[in-house]
Chains A and B, each alone.
Chain A
Amino acid sequence: MDSEVITEARPLLDRLTDQVGEVILGKEQPIRLALACLLARGHLLIEDLPGVGKTTLAHALAGSLGLQFNRIQFTSDLLPADILGVSIFDQASGLFVFHPGPVFAQLVLADEINRATPKTQSALLEAMEERQVTVEGETRPLPEPFFVIATQNPAYQIGTFPLPESQLDRFLMRVQLGYPDSEAERTLLNGIDRRRMLPQLTPVISPTHLARLQDSVDKVHAAPAILDYLQAILDFSRQSPDIAHGLSPRAGLALLHAARAWALMAGRDHVLPDDVQTVLPAVVSHRLRAVDEGKTQGEVLARQLLQVPVP
């Protein structure tokens, strides 16, 4: 692996983090995780209460990365076509002309995805998975890179359609922003509205550069010991009496990918167990379901997985 990509990755990504961090105060870890998710070509689910800065984060990321950005606010009456786009008969040309929906953007913010009906949700999720959209028999590729940040209010809010587990699996990570700490809170209250800073953000990185970084994620070395560790984690999840369904092979791959991305961000050409442990809660907590359904949070289960011996 070309060492220059590695060496230049770290300061670049640090700068990105800093820049986004100026907008979203005191949330370095979620920001970095979001970046790792992006580098690993995965999609991100942010789950939190309204008003903690989910949308701002998406905006800031888009701005700093110089990505073309679209926001879709999910509502219960949103239809698949509202996302994917429609073909409309053009009187002038006498042809059906495709009007691409908001999904045709490099960074899509799907706000409050659990407010839409399952049908609409799955339209987006299938697009995420396949990175292409098929409307009326015609397949159209989505732009590259393609990164979806979906936000979701916690399920106990009224009038929502929680995403089923099979769909949740399509998000590489789920992060929670949480309330800012008191210091950040104070800065926030004192300072200007952060959202006003957004237009002033300048791209730190070009899309081609980003693509190159994404490519190099795959080349980060995962030693046999790391693979052993991942397997031990997967095995543990499958054997644990508290966990209803063990982690799928896809979850294992996701974990590996995320750990690689995290290692790249740290400027390393190989994965350490620490990388795995860092990304583990974000990657697995939304994929785990407790046996005593609903009582134990995925986070708690993910913490159990951290107890797996490191080989």
Chain B
Amino acid sequence: MYLPDNLKRYPPAPFLLLLCVSLILLPHLVRIPLWLSFLTFGILIWRGLHDLGRVRLPGRFVRYGIILFGIAGLLFHYHSLIGRQAGTSLLLLLTAMKLMELQSRRDAYVMLFLCYFVVILGFLFSQSIPMTVYMVVLLLALLTTQIFYSHPNASEASWRQLLPHGRLAGRIILQASPLALALFILFPRVTGPLWAMPDEAYSSRTGLSDKMSPGGISRLRNDNSVAFRVKFAGDPPGANQLYWRGIILWRFDGKTWDAPEDHRYYQKDSLIPVAAGGPALDYTVTLEPHEQRWLFLLDTPAVIPENAYLTLERQLLTPKPVDKLLRYRASSYLNYRYEKDVDWRESPRYLALPARVAPKTHNLISTLRARHSTDRELVRAVLRYFYDNPFYYSRTPPLLFDDPVDEFLFETRSGFCEHYASSFTVMMRLAGIPARVVVGYQGGEMNPLSDYMIVRQSDAHAWSEVWLADYGWMRIDPTSVIPPGRIENSDDLRRRQPETRIARELLQQPWILKAYKQARFALDAINNRWNQWVVGFNQKRQTELFGALGYPDIHWRELATLLGLAVTVILLALSWRLFRMPLQKKDPLLQAYDRFCKRLAAVGLEKALSETPAQFAQRVKKHRQDLSHDVDVITRLYQRLRYGRTVSATLMRRLLEQVQQFKPQRHVT
């Protein structure tokens, strides 16, 4: 039929297109404003009803009105149209609106292309395995739809084409994947963005924050999501050394600890020298994006990871917030001492306290100070104070109001790491000992199915560092002195003995829980691999990969050459496969006889096309009496099978055997 470019010709395609658009919208629904979800689905339903012939599409004014309304709504919601969230929302709106003016085949293609674009935008939000699988399914659906749009005369029984077209789409994806993989591995990667990305002001990431006031970390106690994963070069250190230093908070306003940005203290490449009490421990951290700039390293870093800054507090910062999976190599001394440093007693930085803070505590410190002259003894005395008095470790401590330090130390005496770290630091400062709060993670569990450690959000912890004139900065974890009997939650108790935890759990728990735990570990191992090799695949990884293959320091030009080569080879292989189009499937009988003929042709006896099998056999026998028996048998069998009356599987088998064994040698004379 002759056809104009009219959508009526592609019966199932509009329906498939609607399905695709709905599927594409689905993962975005949680991210976009509610009203936009309703709007887009309203548009989908409208289009669907139109395709069924129920309603007409809106006129141009209505369409533009909806778009304007949507843009206004987005501006109101995001105050901007650029940026990841706002941009995606805008694109979703436009994609849905494009449905409203779908008229021609070209429109349909543009629509499909928009869909591809929205799919790829989705990866800005999540690159997890389930998301990827979902996107591949979507791709299959989109390709199938595209095939339908390219097959205009599918008018009759077009739904029956669904399976073959779907299969074709699947085949195309499969055929394309080796090429895509080659491109992925070999395409020269560049580091850093091509242009500055708009800052994301609307992050809803979980994790530590740059402020600490009671209640902040306890929120994370129940969050089992992964903060980062660590792969140690050697044996993992003991549990009491697993202090993952993150943020150092030094300013206290009476309730909240924080750390204002202080560029004066950035040091790019030199470290405050420490005296190591042993070799450095090498490890690699894969940090989940947390939208902040700090990195987590074991106390204390020996070298600065690439692209990181070191502050005066030996805190490591990245230049930009970590908004995607970040992998860095680090090295730490577990036993160390600071070399000679500034005398921090002269500076108010780690001593300042708001006026009239914690008067009762002040009194207590004065008493203790009177009894213990050295700083070291005072520290010990304060820790003993926590141990001797009935301090409890609780996840749900009573609320603190006016003066959290005094109230905690003398009234409630129940809290968690934040309370202890905060109070302890304040007490130190009151005693004239420079002190600061460290927030990070403590502990981590080894994945028994693999060789890396998982540190979860629930491992978040806070502790203190004090500066002793004869020692330098020293790590003090006041929470650790609380005896086990005063810890309310058994989980927390177990957390305190991480080294035995896993083994005991696996031994004591019922098998179903064990299986569950194992599955979780297995899943995490897969996720880790995925993160390491797919999501985290960057220039560094690429160089490493080729380094491991024996091509260290591979240049992008070599990569490009390799890429060109790989693409050519793959395309050639594919075209060979595709163009070697199978003609009518050959009868095994003919195949067998063909093989027989080919073997004879190889020794110089070629069967002419017009020769009958018998004539050919006659000719062969004349030239090669040695083959005469075999040739006779094969020819007779072939004749019986091909021209005879009965079909005999036995004869067939005999023929196949005979042909199999028939291996004529060249004449040796």
Choose among B609, B615, B642 the residue that contacts A225 (Cβ–Cβ < 8 A): B642
Interface segment out of the listed A7-15, A44-52, A272-280: A272-280
Tell me which residues from 280 to 294 in chain A have a Cβ below 8 Å from any Cβ of chain B: none
Q: B611 at the A/B interface (Cβ < 8 Å)?
A: yes
Choose among B609, B610, B643 the residue that contacts A270 (Cβ–Cβ < 8 A): B643
Within 8 Å CB of B610, what residues of A? 306-310
Q: B639 at the A/B interface (Cβ < 8 Å)?
A: yes
Asked if A223 contacts B609 (CB within 8 A), the reply is no
Closest chain B residue to A306, Cβ basis: B610
Choose among A1, A226, A309 the residue that contacts B643 (Cβ–Cβ < 8 A): A226
Within 8 Å CB of B615, what residues of A? 274, 277
Q: A258 at the A/B interface (Cβ < 8 Å)?
A: no
Q: A221 at the A/B interface (Cβ < 8 Å)?
A: yes
Asked if A272 contacts B639 (CB within 8 A), the reply is yes
Asked if A274 contacts B645 (CB within 8 A), the reply is no
* Most chain A CB within a 10 A radius of its CB, from B609, B612, B614, B615: B612
Q: A269 at the A/B interface (Cβ < 8 Å)?
A: yes
Asked if B609 contacts A272 (CB within 8 A), the reply is no
Within 8 Å CB of A270, what residues of B? 643-645
* Most chain B CB within a 10 A radius of its CB, from A277, A306, A310: A310
Interface string of B601-634 (1 = CB under 8 A from A): 0000000011111110000000000000000000
Asked if B614 contacts A274 (CB within 8 A), the reply is yes
Q: A271 at the A/B interface (Cβ < 8 Å)?
A: yes
> In the bound complex, what is the Cα–Cα distance between A78 and B557 (angstroms)?
101
Interface string of A1-36 (1 = CB under 8 A from B): 100000000000000000000000000000000000
> In the bound complex, what is the Cα–Cα distance between A277 and B615 (angstroms)?
11
Within 8 Å CB of B643, what residues of A? 221, 223, 225-226, 270-273
Interface string of B639-669 (1 = CB under 8 A from A): 1001111000000000000000000000000
Q: A269-B645, A270-B644, A270-B645 are in contact. Are A310 and B609 (CB under 8 A)?
A: yes
Closest chain B residue to A220, Cβ basis: B645
Within 8 Å CB of B639, what residues of A? 272
Asked if B644 contacts A273 (CB within 8 A), the reply is no
> In the bound complex, what is the Cα–Cα distance between A226 and B639 (angstroms)?
11
Within 8 Å CB of B609, what residues of A? 309-310
Count of A-B residue pairs with CB < 8 Å: 41
Closest chain A residue to B640, Cβ basis: A270
Smallest CB–CB gap between B620 and chain A, Å? 15
Within 8 Å CB of A310, what residues of B? 609-613
Smallest CB–CB gap between A228 and chain B, Å? 11
> In the bound complex, what is the Cα–Cα distance between A225 and B612 (angstroms)?
12
> In the bound complex, what is the Cα–Cα distance between A112 and B612 (angstroms)?
37
> In the bound complex, what is the Cα–Cα distance between A273 and B307 (angstroms)?
82
Within 8 Å CB of A306, what residues of B? 610
Within 8 Å CB of B614, what residues of A? 272-274
Interface string of B292-305 (1 = CB under 8 A from A): 00000000000000
> In the bound complex, what is the Cα–Cα distance between A271 and B640 (angstroms)?
10
Tell me which residues from 295 to 310 in chain A have a Cβ below 8 Å from any Cβ of chain B: 306-310
Tell me which residues from 289 to 333 in chain B have a Cβ below 8 Å from any Cβ of chain A: none
Asked if B612 contacts A273 (CB within 8 A), the reply is yes
Asked if A223 contacts B644 (CB within 8 A), the reply is yes
> In the bound complex, what is the Cα–Cα distance between A1 and B644 (angstroms)?
13
> In the bound complex, what is the Cα–Cα distance between A66 and B613 (angstroms)?
38
Within 8 Å CB of A277, what residues of B? 612, 615
Choose among A221, A274, A307, A308 the residue that contacts B644 (Cβ–Cβ < 8 A): A221
> In the bound complex, what is the Cα–Cα distance between A144 and B644 (angstroms)?
31
Within 8 Å CB of A272, what residues of B? 612-614, 639, 643
Asked if A221 contacts B645 (CB within 8 A), the reply is yes
Smallest CB–CB gap between A60 and chain B, Å? 30
Smallest CB–CB gap between B635 and chain A, Å? 10
Tell me which residues from 240 to 283 in chain A have a Cβ below 8 Å from any Cβ of chain B: 269-274, 277
> In the bound complex, what is the Cα–Cα distance between A274 and B642 (angstroms)?
13
> In the bound complex, what is the Cα–Cα distance between A277 and B608 (angstroms)?
14
Interface string of B387-419 (1 = CB under 8 A from A): 000000000000000000000000000000000
> In the bound complex, what is the Cα–Cα distance between A256 and B611 (angstroms)?
19
Smallest CB–CB gap between A281 and chain B, Å? 14
Tell me which residues from 348 to 392 in chain B have a Cβ below 8 Å from any Cβ of chain A: none
Smallest CB–CB gap between B589 and chain A, Å? 10
Within 8 Å CB of B613, what residues of A? 272-273, 310
Smallest CB–CB gap between B29 and chain A, Å? 62
> In the bound complex, what is the Cα–Cα distance between A21 and B332 (angstroms)?
111
> In the bound complex, what is the Cα–Cα distance between A178 and B332 (angstroms)?
110
Within 8 Å CB of A274, what residues of B? 612, 614-615
Within 8 Å CB of B612, what residues of A? 272-274, 277, 310
Smallest CB–CB gap between A296 and chain B, Å? 19
Within 8 Å CB of A309, what residues of B? 609-610
Smallest CB–CB gap between A55 and chain B, Å? 35
> In the bound complex, what is the Cα–Cα distance between A1 and B645 (angstroms)?
10
Smallest CB–CB gap between A217 and chain B, Å? 15
> In the bound complex, what is the Cα–Cα distance between A273 and B612 (angstroms)?
6
> In the bound complex, what is the Cα–Cα distance between A306 and B612 (angstroms)?
10
> In the bound complex, what is the Cα–Cα distance between A37 and B642 (angstroms)?
26
Smallest CB–CB gap between B447 and chain A, Å? 66
> In the bound complex, what is the Cα–Cα distance between A272 and B613 (angstroms)?
9
> In the bound complex, what is the Cα–Cα distance between A274 and B611 (angstroms)?
9
Tell me which residues from 210 to 238 in chain A have a Cβ below 8 Å from any Cβ of chain B: 221, 223, 225-226
> In the bound complex, what is the Cα–Cα distance between A226 and B615 (angstroms)?
16
> In the bound complex, what is the Cα–Cα distance between A225 and B647 (angstroms)?
14
Within 8 Å CB of A1, what residues of B? 645
Smallest CB–CB gap between A267 and chain B, Å? 14
Within 8 Å CB of B645, what residues of A? 1, 221, 223, 269-270
Interface string of B510-531 (1 = CB under 8 A from A): 0000000000000000000000
Closest chain A residue to B639, Cβ basis: A272
> In the bound complex, what is the Cα–Cα distance between A223 and B614 (angstroms)?
16
Smallest CB–CB gap between A289 and chain B, Å? 23
Smallest CB–CB gap between A270 and chain B, Å? 5
* Most chain A CB within a 10 A radius of its CB, from B610, B642, B643: B643
Closest chain A residue to B644, Cβ basis: A270
Within 8 Å CB of B611, what residues of A? 310
Interface string of B73-107 (1 = CB under 8 A from A): 00000000000000000000000000000000000
Choose among A223, A269, A307, A308 the residue that contacts B642 (Cβ–Cβ < 8 A): A223
Smallest CB–CB gap between B116 and chain A, Å? 50
> In the bound complex, what is the Cα–Cα distance between A223 and B640 (angstroms)?
10
> In the bound complex, what is the Cα–Cα distance between A270 and B646 (angstroms)?
10
Smallest CB–CB gap between A191 and chain B, Å? 34
Smallest CB–CB gap between A111 and chain B, Å? 36
> In the bound complex, what is the Cα–Cα distance between A150 and B644 (angstroms)?
35
Known A270-B643, A272-B639; further 14 A-B contacts with Cβ < 8 A = A1-B645, A223-B643, A223-B644, A223-B645, A269-B644, A269-B645, A272-B612, A272-B614, A273-B613, A273-B614, A274-B614, A307-B610, A309-B610, A310-B609
A-B contact pairs, 26 of them (CB 8 A): A1-B645, A221-B644, A223-B643, A223-B644, A223-B645, A225-B643, A226-B643, A269-B644, A269-B645, A270-B643, A270-B644, A270-B645, A271-B643, A272-B613, A272-B643, A273-B612, A273-B614, A274-B612, A274-B614, A277-B615, A306-B610, A307-B610, A309-B610, A310-B609, A310-B610, A310-B613
10 closest A-B pairs by CB = A309-B609, A273-B612, A221-B645, A223-B643, A274-B612, A307-B610, A270-B644, A274-B614, A270-B643, A310-B612
